[in-house]
Amino acid sequence: MSNLVTGFIGANPLIGIAVATFHYAGPDVDEMQNKQRALELRQAATQIVSVASMRQVENGAALVARTPIASLRESGYLKAVPVNPFIDRGGYPFQLLFSGDLESTGYYADLVFLSIGRTEEARAVCEAVNFQAQGKPGVDEIPTVFGSDVRPVVVRESGCFRMHDVGVSGAAASHDYVVYTRL
């Protein structure tokens, strides 16, 4: 019986320490996870940009907007198509789009475009992407009047913005956070 009491008394401080650590370190852990997710998304988009550029050089032709990224795997440029870790939380697959008209298939692709949904976690990851890519916090929302033209908000090589009220068919729902990298 005394061993049981001693064990309980010995375990109590450990439980207290664990709870205190989680309470005080919890936000820091979340922030680190968001930074890690942001880095992973940017690396996947950069990988797609690299292989799309290589394909363009080798074939002498740019990719048309809305060309499936799977075609880069099928033609041997990618080992595997990167998967959006936010796909189960409202995100969409990686896409190649034209920034002047996201719905168009009549132009050459100039963006790797990735909707990550509209959750609080997506917002935090979007802010981390902007801080890593541009050194600035915050997220710009594209005005609805721009329609499917996102050129005013994709002026840097990579970053993240928030979609307007309408969204883009097959690419992003209204108010989704969107990670992009320019081709």
Dump pLDDT digits (tens) for 96-147. Answer: 999 999 999 999 999 999 999 999 999 999 999 999 998 888 999 999 999 9
Cα–Cα distance, 66 to 90 (Å, whole number): 19
Cα–Cα distance, 50 to 27 (Å, whole number): 34
Cα–Cα distance, 160 to 162 (Å, whole number): 7
Cα–Cα distance, 37 to 40 (Å, whole number): 5
Q: To which residue do tokens 């550029």 refer?
A: 53
Domain assignment of residue 137, given as a range: 2-182
Q: Give the predicted TM-score (pTM) of the model.
A: 0.83
Would you put residue 167 in left (φ > 0), alpha (ψ -120 to 50) or beta? left
Structural domain total, the chain: 1
